Structure 1
Amino acid sequence: MMVRLVIALGALLLGGAVLAWGGAPALEAWLLPFHLVLGLVVGAIGALLVAHLLVEDWLAPPRPSLEALAWLAPLAALLALPLLLAPAALYPWAADPGLAEGPRAAWFSLPVFRLRVGLLLGALVLAALLLARPGAGRREARFALALWLPAGLLLAQDIVLSRDPAWFGSLQGTALVIEQASAALSLAVLAVLLRRGEDGMRGVDRALLVLATLTVWLWFVQFVVVWMADLPAEAAWYLRRGGAWAWLKAALVAILAAAILLALLPRPGPRRLGLVALLLLAQHIGHGLWLLRPEAPGGAPPLMVELVVAAGVLGLAWWWAALSARRRASARASDH
């Protein structure tokens, strides 16, 4: 408990430093690692829901790592504070309320935004508590599902997609949640492989294949809908990701295609499974950059600011997750 309090205090101090001295560039640098940490929480809870509701034995090896990632939820709630305290530096509609019109104006009003995000993060913390505790089963999973589904979809909208209010109520939120599940499962698989060299994870490669294919399909469907319907506001979102951003997207598509092809090959070994997981995780990180950075009101932050802030946020998250994993391993060892 004491170590977690130290980590929480470190998160508050780092966030306070960003707000007090970093300004808009540091807040922009904060958004991407926060998105990645929150995505691991949402994705890990989703994978654990599958394990509990469908009683999938193939999820047993990565399950302890998934529980540790899900229990990042309290830390993610603390890391959200800088975004909630200074949203005008990150979200154009917060700086200029006139950008959101009609029903969206009420949805994107600052008091409603802050209250909504706070409640959704609280729902994720409760869902993680229900699923990651010893003895959790289907009954707890049913309650967690009712919390996780709206929280995951709405947080994807509020934290990532709301930088352009035109994406209100699109398929992108669903696609992002599925991508987050693939990233969380990939990181859990890598943790198992690095720890034990486990090669008995039959079924995990199929799950990664399904998640990667669904991600590609949903993003493609969203693009086709915008193209065929000739929606100017949504088309402008894609046009802002031209030039160098288009090359990044092409590279991410190639990485995703390579992961899918590797997962399709028969008799996957631990090395190939690890490579698939690594590719999916790299794609998710790059895709977060592609989603967020073209919408940055002040442009990209200085590289040094980006590296320092990312190292701080991700370092705290790694410390918290590693502590959770060790405690759960000790508890299981004592039970046996």
Structure 2
Amino acid sequence: MIAALRNQTLSAFASPHAAAGLALVSLTAALVLMAGRLGPHPSLLQGWLLAFAIWSCAPVGSVTLLLIHRLTGGRWGVVAGAILRPLAATMPLVAIAFVPVLAGLTYIYPWAADASQIKPDIARWYLDQPWFVLRAVIALIGWSVLGVTFALGLGGRLLAALGLAFYGFTISMVAVDWFLSLEPHYVSTAFGSMIAIQQLLAALAVVAVLATTNFERRALSDIASLLIATVLGVVYLEYMTYVVAWYGDLPEKAEWFLRRSKDAWVGVLLVTFVAGAVLPFSMLLFEGLRRSRSGLRIVGLLLLFGTVMHFVWLMMPAFSAQAPAALTALGTLLTLTIASVLFGQGIASVEVHHAE
């Protein structure tokens, strides 16, 4: 299996489209890192982190869905595999894209710039730069190995089970590290689970958008049902986190929500909730739409828009220079998306070649 994985991986990465995608991510990451560290532009690295958070959802969610399908089976996974596998194969790009964050910790996270902002025991045993880097490297390498392995169809059920356990363990840590620790005084035990479900939702939304004529109506209905479950999961966890923080009279947690309920952030939240949850959920209640490719495509686009706005609402209020960070995030997201498309085309072409 190891020899087959090595040979197929080298073949996939050597394809022109995949090499172009890999080069685009690497070059863009290097440029942003140099500009963010050498110049007075920490907002570049903050914007890069926001774009990374949004863009990485679909690849990581695709890996998880492939693991789940390997264990449970189902026609939905067979049909959606043509989209999920190239997405999962982009995990090495996700690992590369996180390098600017690791190299610019002090420009992004307040605890990395000043350890006195958090409790001494937390700074020593958890939110410490070497520990942060170690947890990130373990997670990204593990996810990349799983993504490439199952993208090439080489993983077995035992590896899928172990992979899901590994994912559940790592996402609960790195989601807090990467995103929530932007404001280290706020903690949430449900945050990792919410991010995990958001990743599943994003991957399924991409499948819905890219659904082709090969998708059977029964498979479309199954994907729609999974979309309903993940939408409800994200909304439930976000709402219950708010309820616990607010009605539990927890000042530090309430302050985190208050910061996101001022000025334009109320509008962002409302747009996110309506466009990213209420509208797609209402549309998915109709059986005819659940079996319609065009209907699911609209739902998928709404959910992807909701994912973008959700992460903007979660992370952007933590940044001081919000406008430059937002512009950087927009440009980065477009660049990473183009790189993903190129890389995915290269992986898909290799799959077709092997099938023939």
Q: TM-score, normalised by structure 2?
A: 0.87
Alignment partners' CA distance in 2, 1:134 and 1:302: 39
Do the aligned partners of 1:45 and 1:128 also contact (CA within 8 Å) in 2? Answer: yes
State how far apart, in whole Å, the 1-side matches of 2:190 and 2:252 are.
Answer: 15
Q: 2:311 aligns with which of 270, 274, 288?
A: 288
Equivalent pairs, count: 332
Query: Equivalents in 1 of 2:135, 2:166: separation in Å?
Result: 13
Q: Distance in 2 between matches of 1:223 and 1:273?
A: 30
Q: Which amino acid aligns with 2:264?
A: A
Alignment partner of 1:54 out of 69, 72, 76: 72
Structure 2 match to 1:30? 48
Which letter maps to 1:326?
A: S
Work out which of the residue numbers 230, 233, 236 in structure 2 matches 1:214: 233
Shift of 1:204: 1.0
Partner of 2:22: 8
Distance 1:304 1:141 in 2: 39
Contact 1:93 1:108 in 2 (8 A): yes
Aligned: 1:324 with 2:338: no
Q: Does 1:262 align with 2:276?
A: no
SS in 2 for 1:170: coil
In the alignment, the residues of structure 1 paired with residue 150 and residue 170 of structure 2 have an alpha-carbon distance, to the nearest angstrom, of: 15
1:70 aligns with 2:107: no
Q: Quick check: 2:20–2:342 contact (8 Å CA) kept in 1?
A: no
2:236 aligned counterpart, secondary structure: helix
Partner of residue 253, structure 1: 273
Q: Is the 8 A contact 1:89 1:297 kept in 2?
A: no
* Mean CA deviation greater in 233-242 or 290-299: 290-299
Residue 309 of structure 1 corresponds to 332
1:176 corresponds to which residue?
195
Compared with structure 1, are the counterparts of its residues 297 and 98 closer, same or farther at alpha carbon in structure 2 (3 Å cutoff)? farther
Give the 5 Å matches for 1:78-93.
Answer: 78-93=96-111
User: Which segment drifts farther, 142-151 or 307-316?
Assistant: 307-316
Distance in 2 (alpha carbons) for counterparts of 1:11 and 1:127: 20
Matches within 5 A, 1:238-249: 238-242=257-261, 243-249=263-269
Q: Residue 173 of structure 1: SS of its match in structure 2? A: helix
Deviation at 1:167, TM superposition (A): 3.5
1:151 aligned residue: 170
* Distance of 2:148 and 2:300 partners within structure 1: 26
Question: Does the 8 A contact of 1:25 with 1:298 survive in 2?
Answer: yes
Structure 1 residue 210: Cα displacement: 0.7
Letter in 2 for 1:39: C
Whether the aligned pair in 1 keeps the contact of 2:22 and 2:93 (CA below 8 Å) is yes
Distance 1:142 1:303 in 2: 38
> 1:134-149 residue pairs with structure 2 within 5 A?
134-149=153-168
Aligned to 2:7: none
Q: CA separation in 2, counterparts of 1:52 and 1:166?
A: 39
- Aligned equivalents of 1:130, 1:306: Cα separation in 2: 30
Give the 3 Å change call, closer, same or farther, for CA 159–322 of structure 1 in structure 2: farther
Distance 1:41 1:122, change over 3 A: same
74-83 or 152-161, which deviates more: 152-161
Trace 1:187-198 onto structure 2 (pairs within 5 A).
187-193=206-212
1: CA distance, partners of 2:351 / 2:211: 14
Question: SS of 1:108's equivalent?
Answer: coil
The answer on whether the counterparts of 1:130 and 1:144 sit within 8 Å (CA) in structure 2 is: no
User: What is the one-letter code of the residue matched to 1:273?
Assistant: L
CA deviation profile, 1:118-159 (whole Å, cap 9, x unmatched): 111111112213322224332221121122212222221111
- Per the alignment, in what secondary structure is the counterpart of residue 324 of structure 2? coil
TM-score, with length taken from structure 1: 0.92
For the structure 1 residues 41 and 153, does the alpha-carbon distance in structure 2 shift closer, same or farther, using more than 3 Å as the test? farther
Matched letter for residue 84 of structure 1 = L
In structure 2, relative to structure 1, the CA distance for the partners of 1:197 and 1:64 (3 Å cut) is: closer
User: Matched residues in 1 for 2:35 and 2:88: separation?
Assistant: 31
Structure 1, gaps ≥5 residues long: none
C-alpha distance in 2, partners of 1:158/1:300? 24
- Residue of structure 1 in register with 2:10 after alignment: none
1:304 deviates by 5.2
Counterpart Cα distance in 1 of 2:354 and 2:186: 44
Report the identity percentage: 25
